[in-house]
Structures are given as structure tokens and as C-alpha cells.
Amino acid sequence: MDPRCTMGLAILIFVTVLLISDAVSVETQAYFNGTAYLPCPFTKAQNISLSELVVFWQDQQKLVLYEHYLGTEKLDSVNAKYLGRTSFDRNNWTLRLHNVQIKDMGSYDCFIQKKPPTGSIILQQTLTELSVIANFSEPEIKLAQNVTGNSGINLTCTSRQGHPKPKKMYFLITNSTNEYGDNMQISQDNVTELFSISNSLSLSFPDGVWHMTVVCVLETESMKISSKPLNFTQEFPSPQTYWKEITASVTVALLLVMLLIIVCHKKPNQPSRPSNTASKLERDSNADRETINLKELEPQIASAKPNAE
């Protein structure tokens, strides 16, 4: 085998052993629009000067975020999406990534290389897994309509601009551990990739209940966020209205009772008898007829009298 091939193979094996033995994996978290810290702790820093090293970070797509080349920042190889967004902390061997977005989530590798006169040797590799969070706004309950009389209560609850995706949102009502609200909707912004969530609820006052307190709760992977409590009071009827309603109800009830009594006690239909007035009229009519008959007979009576003498 060619001695040069043998030497190259030996270097490759040496570098692979170093990568396996000195590879470090860490997890870090940053807030949306905040700063992420991508560490690259170098345990041999006390023995080697930074001017002898090449230090650079790249993302999971192999795009370079930052490069420190033999003591000097080198921007030629930095990808455009990271230009102006990074700063290197030499004391802590940490790269600061500013104005973090949801799309920055993922894996980042830091490589520390020594640059001898010929070639380069990887001394250390650090893998950082970056996650990004954004706090949801405090859930806000809104009343869709005023509560009057026995009308139902229609509520909506919303929370915006958060990450990661929320688990659930629900309503809690006074003296109940049940979770209410079955119309949860989640949307994601196409640009920021942040989530918004809403839920709605329709309920009525239970019998005998005049006061209720409602709270909206949003649950994420790491926390619960509650809205300000919203109090509802059902209006009592005024004394005048109350007594008017009672009087009207009693009156209607009495009329129904009276009608029922009349219907129940009504006798079957019988042939009607002529009244006294009708009988009197009939008698007067008969008397008139008798009088008329006597007058008609008077001439006959008069003519008969002499013959009798």
C-alpha cells in the first residue's frame, strides 16, 4: 500500500476517534424574537490559543452561521440568513443567535479544528438542539350578548401568538371541576408559524342559581394559563313585576276554575215552557176573540126581544 494512503487512513481513523470521544450533545431553549445561546465549550482551551484554531457553527442544512478563523472573524462563508444575527462570546466559547424565529428550531453543530502547517484536525464537535417557545397571550373571555332574564350565555375565549402548539383550552364554572367547551379551533400563522387558539361555550343558569363565575384555561406542554374570572349575575324581577305576574296568574286560574264549574253543573237541555207573559198574552187574545163574538150577536138578540113579549 502507498505510504501516503496509509498516512491518510491513519489520520482519518484518528479524527473519527476524536469525534466520537469528544462529541458533546446539549439542548437549549430560546424565546421567540429573543437570543439563543449555542455553546461550544473547549476543554483544551488553556493549552491552545484561539489564533491557532478554526471555530465555526453550521445548521442541519450545513449552512454556516459563523466562523472564527485563526483569531479573526471570517464572513465570506456565512450564509445570508445569518449575517448580522450572530455574535461570538470568546470567554464562554458560545455563539449568540439573535432575533430567533420558529424556523430556527433544529440542530446546530460547532466544530473546533486545529490548523497545523498541513491539513486540519477536528479537536471537538458540539451538537446543540435548539427549541423555540413563544408565550401565548393571556386567555380572554368575551360575552357575545347581554345576559337578560332566562336567556343563555354565549362566550368565546381566545389566546394568540404562542408556540409550541397548545394541548387544549376549556372553561371552568363555579363549584365544578368539569371542563366545558367543545368547539376548540387552532390556527397557525404562515409567516411567523405561531399558533392562535379559540373556544366557545353556550350555557344557561341552572334552576335556583343566580350567580356564576367562569374562567378560561389554556394548557401547553409546560404550563397552564388562566384568564381573569368573569362573573355573571342573573337579574331578579322587580317587586312590582313580581306581584303583577302573581296577580295575573291567580286571575287566570280563577277564571279557569269558574269556567270548569259552569261546564260541570250545566243541566241537559229541556223543552221550554211558555212564560207567564206568553200565557197572559194568549189569554188576552182569547178574551178579545170572545168580545168580538158577543158584539156580532147583539142585533140578533135585540130583534128577538119583542117576540118574546
The CATH number covering residue 41 comes to 2.60.40.10
Give a yes or no: residue 101 inside a domain. yes
The domain boundary residue, chosen from 99, 133, 167: 133
Give a yes or no: residue 182 inside a domain. yes
Give a yes or no: residue 143 inside a domain. yes
Which positions ≥6 away from 35 have C-beta within 8 Å? 96, 97, 98, 99, 100
Residue numbers of the domain that contains 225: 137-233
Q: pLDDT tens, 62-117? A: 999 999 999 899 999 999 999 999 999 988 899 999 999 999 999 999 999 987 77
Do 127 and 210 lie in one domain? The reply is no
Which grid coordinates belong to 282?
194568549
Q: pLDDT tens, 133-157? A: 999 999 999 987 655 445 578 999 9
Q: Please state the domain count of the chain.
A: 2
Q: Which of 73, 229, 56 is nearest to 141 (CA)?
A: 229
Buried b / exposed e along 143-181 (16+ C-beta atoms within 10 A):
eeeebeeeeebebbbbbbebbbebeebbbbbeeeeeebb
| β-bridge pairing 121-133 and 24-31 | parallel
Percent of the chain predicted with pLDDT > 70:
72
Residue 112, pLDDT score: 93
Please report which confidence band the pLDDT of residue 159 belongs to, taking 50, 70 and 90 as the band edges: very high
Give a yes or no: residue 64 inside a domain. yes
Residue 309, pLDDT score: 42
With a cut of 50, say whether residue 164 has pLDDT above it.
yes
Do 168 and 226 lie in one domain? The reply is yes
Residue 146, pLDDT score: 55
Cis peptide before 117 (omega within 30 of 0): no
Contact, 139 vs 230, CB < 8 A?
A: no
Do 120 and 191 lie in one domain? The reply is no
Strands annotated E in 53-194: 53-59, 64-69, 72-73, 86-89, 94-97, 106-114, 121-133, 140-143, 153-162, 168-173, 185-188
Do 166 and 87 lie in one domain? The reply is no
Please report, as a single letter, which amino acid is at residue 180: Y
Do 170 and 103 lie in one domain? The reply is no
Do 81 and 93 lie in one domain? The reply is yes
**What is the layout of strands, in order, in the sheet containing 140-143?**
140-143, 153-162, 195-203, 185-188
Do 175 and 146 lie in one domain? The reply is yes
Residue 41, pLDDT score: 86
Which of the pair, 274 or 30, is modelled with greater confidence?
A: 30
Do 32 and 119 lie in one domain? The reply is yes
Q: State whether residue 26 is helix, strand or coil.
A: strand
Please report which confidence band the pLDDT of residue 43 belongs to, taking 50, 70 and 90 as the band edges: confident
- Distance CA(19)–CA(293), nearest Å, equals 155
The domain boundary residue, chosen from 133, 162, 193: 133
Do 114 and 166 lie in one domain? The reply is no
Please report which confidence band the pLDDT of residue 304 belongs to, taking 50, 70 and 90 as the band edges: low
Do 142 and 193 lie in one domain? The reply is yes
Which grid coordinates belong to 69?
478563523
Do 55 and 123 lie in one domain? The reply is yes
Give a yes or no: residue 220 inside a domain. yes
Give a yes or no: residue 267 inside a domain. no
Do 229 and 175 lie in one domain? The reply is yes
The domain boundary residue, chosen from 82, 100, 133: 133
Please report which confidence band the pLDDT of residue 9 belongs to, taking 50, 70 and 90 as the band edges: very low
